[in-house]
Structure 1
């Protein structure tokens, strides 16, 4: 049917996948000045909630961070633990995130059990 107008393509081709290497997210850094074990519980500073965050990895970390462990945050933002540790270290140094004490010799059994449960949840989510 030569008299019919050409039908334009309804769907544009999907954009090419953008692959960002983990080291690009941390400017090549693999370590942070802040010691952040997998089980360390983090909490947001009130200054972090008053700031507008971009839709990047740091912004996503801030969005999920509310008394979660490093492992849980890594799982929730779906980024490698090393990358998340470096970015969290930056946020700690900037004062937007605080590291809560992990277990000590005086920790109760309930505190130890809670820490194990949270760590397991985070690891399973990875």
Structure 2
């Protein structure tokens, strides 16, 4: 899936939210699955849990999609965390 890579092109926090931009590219089924999952914004951790892949693999695949403009990654803010987002991340981690 990640062609042997262990590092994403950028540093993706597990709580960073990912959503599909509406652009689509020819891709593997894994990349298409992430694109479909992220029609609703999801955290990196949620994507990993829902796809049943290691977090590192999800980070590499999401970074590939972000580099291609297929998904947008919303970095977390420096201020206080959003409680709803933190609950979603916790639920995603529990599914791992």
TM normalised by structure 2 equals 0.87
Of 61, 76, 92 in structure 2, the residue corresponding to residue 122 of structure 1 is 92
Question: What does 1:9-88 correspond to in 2, within 5 Å?
Answer: 25-48=1-24, 54=28, 56-65=29-38, 66-88=40-62
Counterpart position of 2:82:
112
Distance across 1 between alignment mates of 2:50 and 2:56: 14
**Structure number with higher relative contact order (C-alpha < 8 Å, ≥ 6 residues apart):** 2
Q: What does the per-residue CA deviation read over 1:29-56, in whole Å, with 9 as the maximum and x for residues that have no partner?
A: 10012221100001111113xx5655x2
TM-score between both structures, scaled by the size of structure 1: 0.68
Shift >6 Å, 4+ stretches: none
Query: What SS is found at the alignment partner of 2:88?
Result: helix
The yes-or-no answer on 1:98 pairing with 2:72 is yes
Aligned residues: 95
Unaligned runs of 5+ in 2: none
CA RMSD of aligned residues (A): 1.7
